[in-house]
Amino acid sequence: MSLAWTPDPNGSRDYPPPPSRVEALPGRMMMSIEVFFYLQALDFLTTLIGLKLGIPEASPFIRSLLHFGPAVAVAASKIVALGLAFLCIKLSRSHLLLYVNYWYAAVVVWNLLNILIA
């Protein structure tokens, strides 16, 4: 069996079926998704450490959920972030995760600097 596309013997110009979603993501995009998950974990941990040290939370969303507890509030924000990332992937906009990764890398650095200063 050849992997090359050959025209239908009946003369139809139908293209081969598109690859599955996993196959459609190039290696670079898979790496971007992995980095996104690692940055979410780092943001979760550094935010909890910062809150434990008494550093006030800058995010209004997390601040509004802090009465449920710090872990619940930060976990809720991570669930929202993961949901939005999943939506980007399903809508074939996974390239947006590249930009979001830069943002979360800056947030993690900001958290670490605040922890060092505290």
CA distance 103 to 34: 15
The answer as to whether 74 is a domain residue is yes
Contacts of 56 (CB under 8 A, 6+ apart): 63
**What's the token pair of residue 9?**
């013997």
Q: Is residue 14 in a domain?
A: no
Please name which of 52, 92, 56 lies closest in space to residue 71, comparing C-alpha atoms: 52
2: in domain: no
Range of the domain at 75: 25-117
For the stretch 30-87, pLDDT in tens is 899 999 999 999 999 999 999 999 999 999 999 999 999 999 999 999 999 999 999 9
What predicted TM-score, i.e. pTM, was given to this entire model? 0.76
Tell me, yes or no, whether 108 lies in a domain.
yes
Per the structure, how many domains does the chain have? 1
| Residue 113 lies inside a defined structural domain of this protein | yes
Q: What are phi and psi of 53, to 5 degrees?
A: -85, 0
Q: Examine residue 35 and state whether it is found in any structural domain, yes or no.
A: yes
Inside any domain, residue 4: no
Q: Is residue 37 assigned to a domain?
A: yes
